[in-house]
A = this chain, B = another copy of it.
């Protein structure tokens, strides 16, 4: 049996849930309030962060590391597939969202609006929120540019690059912070990935006291 320690609106956790879904792997979800720094959890991951995947005999921490581990141990369908160059392109784009998009957009919006409340690190910073809302346009343009030239973000095949991007955008979409109307090509790509069965559990997520906008789980948004 597999257990995933996670947080509901965390993009790296959603990325792992999408990968598990695409590979058809059942997994028990356990919410881990990382800010409590529970000693048993710190033993699993000294970094004190989610996601952490625990299988019968292995503990794997971090979305990018879990993605590689799952693609090595459950090869079908491959989500980091192709030649070394194609795999590098998949990883480049997954990292783009894990690091660049995260720092420029997600931290400024999900981080300020939601995580600060949980972590008790103060009130949302309106300048950060403004920066996040500005920065997202450039990234959505890039998603559009890529998917007008390729079937999926990194090439012909669905890959962890799509999972990483969709995980971040789905968390922002829950807050109503994705200006889809101004980014038709990115919206078309998101509509395709949103309609996959692996996405259904993500669309069923609800944060107590913070319902998503109506279009969040609508496949014809």
CA gap between A47 and B100 in the complex, in Å: 8
Q: Which A161-182 residues sit within 8 Å CB-CB of chain B? A: none
Q: Contact between B64 and A88 (Cβ–Cβ < 8 Å)?
A: no
Residue of B nearest to A57 (CB): B85
Does A219 sit at the interface, judged by CB under 8 A?
A: no
A interface majority secondary structure = helix
Q: Contact between A92 and B142 (Cβ–Cβ < 8 Å)?
A: no
Partner of A46, one of B57, B58, B64, B142: B142
Say how many copies of this protein the assembly contains: 2
Q: Which A135-174 residues sit within 8 Å CB-CB of chain B? A: 142
Chain B residues with CB under 8 A of A121: none
Q: Which A25-78 residues sit within 8 Å CB-CB of chain B? A: 46-47, 57-58, 60-62, 64-66, 68-69, 72-73
Interface size on A, residues (CB 8 A): 25
CA gap between A19 and B47 in the complex, in Å: 25
Q: Can you identify 12 A-B contacts, CB atoms within 8 angstroms?
A: A58-B84, A58-B88, A60-B92, A65-B88, A65-B92, A65-B95, A66-B88, A68-B87, A69-B87, A69-B88, A72-B87, A99-B99
Known pairs A64-B95, A66-B88; list 20 more (Cβ under 8 Å): A47-B96, A57-B85, A58-B84, A60-B88, A60-B92, A61-B92, A62-B92, A62-B95, A64-B64, A64-B91, A65-B88, A65-B92, A65-B95, A68-B87, A69-B87, A69-B88, A72-B84, A72-B87, A73-B84, A99-B99
